[in-house]
């Protein structure tokens, strides 16, 4: 547990008038590296502390905070309200915490962000697919994309799309071709594009891995990817995915 989780743990401690103390040891091999503990507002140790500092794992502190109830807080902070004087008419009451140190309720948790999903493209995706294809510099209308999807579906090569919730954020074209000079079909990925606002979350990797799985089922032993010479970031991504540059592609428009 590090980074944001530790910040959340510190916030949970503050809600209970406690302070999360983090070890200052920065060497992973040292005994106190990554340790944390709890003190009260005056610096008095409450949990996971010894004379030299914090000794508990973050998970242990998290569990300690989770199990605390109102009475535990009164005892740990040493601020329990004094018992009222006994009365002949009233039975003695249990000690109650001072309202000033009653733990605050945590704010309601926000709904988790949707996770990326991969599925086959559908005709209803066409307007969004036109937008994604244009990010690659290709100008094409919805009618053409709709016609192409229908033909690809008939050939068993429906493109893959990535979604976040109901929004399409990625596109990956897939194909498997029998070549006279190859013993097995060759898989090809083209195009591959992820919306700018969805980049950096592993969606490109998910699309490529889904495409490779489809190609394995088709019996492919080799996958080829086409990428414009100008797209240096895309080249770095493919190399990171295990692809190597093997050739130069030439193209010529037919009139």
Q: What is the CATH number of domain 116-240?
A: 3.40.630.30
Q: Would you give the DSSP letter of residue 235?
A: H
Which residues in the chain land under pLDDT 50?
2, 4, 69-88, 99
3-state class (DSSP) for residue 203: helix
Distance in angstroms (rounded) separating the CA atoms of residues 189 and 248: 16
Contacts of 227 (CB under 8 A, 6+ apart): 234, 235, 238
Residue ranges covered by each domain of the chain: 4-101, 116-240
Q: What is the DSSP string of 75-144?
A: HHHT-BPPPPPP-SSSPPPPP-B-GGGPPPPPPPPPPPPPPEEEEE--GGGHHHHHHHHHTTT----HHH
CB-based burial of residue 183 (10 Å sphere; 0-12 exposed, 13-18 middle, 19+ buried)? exposed
Q: What is the pLDDT of residue 84?
A: 44
- pTM of the predicted model as reported, rounded to 2 decimal places: 0.56
Supply 40's token pair.
């009260």
Supply 229's token pair.
């010479």
Q: pLDDT tens digits, residue range 205-240?
A: 999 999 999 999 999 999 999 888 778 888 888 888
């Amino acid at each position: 547990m590090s980074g944001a989780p530790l910040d959340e743990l510190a916030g949970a401690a503050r809600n209970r008038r406690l302070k999360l103390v983090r070890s200052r040891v920065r060497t992973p091999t040292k005994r106190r590296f990554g340790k944390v503990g709890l003190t009260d507002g005056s610096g008095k140790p409450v949990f996971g502390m010894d004379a030299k500092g914090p000794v508990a794992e973050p998970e242990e502190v998290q569990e300690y905070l989770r199990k605390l109830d109102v009475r535990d807080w009164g005892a740990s902070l040493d601020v329990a309200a004094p018992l009222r004087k006994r009365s002949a008419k009233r039975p003695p009451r249990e000690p109650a915490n001072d309202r000033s140190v009653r733990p605050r309720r945590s704010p309601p948790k926000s709904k988790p962000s949707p996770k990326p999903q991969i599925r086959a493209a559908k005709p209803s995706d066409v307007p969004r697919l036109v937008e994604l294809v244009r990010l690659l510099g290709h100008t094409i209308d919805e009618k053409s994309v709709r016609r192409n999807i229908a033909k690809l579906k008939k050939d068993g090569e429906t493109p893959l799309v990535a979604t976040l919730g109901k929004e399409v954020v990625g596109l990956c074209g897939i194909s498997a071709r029998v070549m006279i000079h190859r013993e097995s079909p060759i898989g090809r990925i083209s195009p591959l594009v992820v919306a700018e606002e969805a980049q950096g979350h592993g969606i490109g990797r998910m699309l490529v891995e889904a495409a490779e799985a489809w190609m394995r089922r088709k019996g492919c032993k080799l996958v080829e990817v086409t990428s414009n010479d100008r797209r240096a970031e895309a080249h770095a991504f493919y190399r990171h995915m295990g692809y190597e540059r093997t050739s130069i592609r030439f193209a010529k428009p037919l009139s």
